[in-house]
Amino acid sequence: EAYGQVWHLPTDPARLTGAQWVDLIASEMGVEPRYRILPVWLMGVIGVFVPIVRELKEMAYQYDRDYFFDSGKFDRQFKLPATPAKEAVRQTVAHLQQEAATAE
């Protein structure tokens, strides 16, 4: 029944933007969110000297709007709800902090 269909794995229905993700992660880590958006024209200039930035410029069209995934079909079929973004970030940051502490 699932063969040949597109399935989006469970996603938080809160639909966070990229900026909201940065804010959420920074908040959980107890730091100020800091980020800059690099204009596409500047990617072209920097890309002359930094190959990875040249590659990013070629893919920039994918980032001119937010993408949201609807996992409603998956949710109805498999009854596996998504972990809310805030809880997922909390768990991830806690795990990474624990890993960093044990690595010292």
Structural domain containing residue 54? 18-103
Is residue 82 within 8 A of residue 13, CB to CB? The reply is yes
Residue 44 forms part of a structural domain: yes
Kindly give the confidence (pLDDT) of every residue in the chain, 104 residues in length, as a single tens digit, with 9 standing for 90 and above.
Answer: 788 998 988 988 888 888 999 999 999 999 999 999 889 999 999 999 999 999 999 998 888 887 788 899 999 999 988 999 999 999 999 999 999 999 87
HSE-up of residue 28 (Cα within 13 Å, Cβ side): 19
Q: What is the per-residue pLDDT for 96?
A: 96
Q: How far is CA 78 from CA 3, 13, 14, 69, 72, in A?
A: 14, 16, 20, 17, 10
Structural domain total, the chain: 1
